[in-house]
Amino acid sequence: MRFGFHISIKGGFSKVVERATIKNCETIQIFSRNPRGWQHKPLVCGEVEKFKKDLKIFGISPLFIHMPYLPNLASSNPGLHTKSRETLEDELKRADLLGASFVIVHVGSRVQATEEIAQLNVIRGINAALQRVENGVGLLLENTAGQGGEIGYKFSQLKEIIRGVEDQKRIGVCLDTAHAFEAGYNLSTPQGLETSLDEFERFVGLKKIHLIHLNDSKTPLGSHSDRHWHIGEGHIGLDGFINIVNHPLLKNLPGILETPCKDDKEDLKNMGVIKGLVQN
């Protein structure tokens, strides 16, 4: 498993790889823009080329782009849904320019809509975006904790959305360990992990997983409360992550850590812990 972190783009893309190497990253995830706003600046060609060159020099791959926080493809509000779909289209284009293999998107919140309508909204938005942006970038649905009106916390919900996507070659899943645990999938024990993976295979298919977000959970099993925590210090625990990173069906996937970070020391500690769990 290749390990990495979500890396800040503050100050420009030219600073990203330096930050990644300090944290001993082998793969990285980034935002391509300000994640808390709708507006964005166009990518600067020279800066992008340096970024891609640096990634190659330091052997950091694959690169993942995470969608901003504001879009909600599950929304039934016409204006918000349109803006969300347009943002996804922009991200697919920007990911291609940056050399990313995938864009990761939160499935979304149903708000006042039914689960079924929300799922149809997501399907409609994805199909429209993939039709409008025909490139090689894939889209990964990130499972949720089921907090508030979130959908996509059950593997059966992911199945319904993925089944409705027309371009099956460009749709997959980013499996977040904290979100899955908080949604009720017990990844902390060998039996719980096997049961969860069996269910995922039955509903979605393990071949659809292209990335794992490696996060411990500060809240208990089935809490539906999204709180990431340091590896081995939460309710999944060290034994849980030993099983996850060494599982024969998962160990060859890239893993991105989104653990709490006050400074580089915290990230280096989490990186050291997760790498120390790998059994050769």
Instruction: Give catalytic residues, as residue numbers.
Output: 36, 66, 69, 106, 142, 176, 179, 213, 226, 228, 258
Name which of 13, 58, 56, 3 is nearest 33 in CA terms: 13
| Residue at 262: amino acid letter | K
| 127 DSSP 8-state letter | H
DSSP of 218-272: SS-TT-----EE-TTTSSSHHHHHHHHHH-TTTTTS-EEE----SSHHHHHHHHH
102 near 137, Cβ under 8 Å?
yes
Q: Sort 119 into a burial class: Cβ within 10 Å, 0-12 / 13-18 / 19+.
A: buried
Beta strand pairing call for 63-66 and 27-30: parallel
User: Which DSSP category does 49 fall into?
Assistant: H
Residue bearing tokens 């089935």: 222
Contact, 165 vs 130, CB < 8 A?
yes
Helices (H) and strands (E) in the chain, counts: 9, 10
Pairing status of strand 102-106 against strand 63-66: parallel
As a whole number of angstroms, the distance between CA 73 and CA 215 comes to 24
CA separation for the pair 63, 42 (Å, rounded): 19
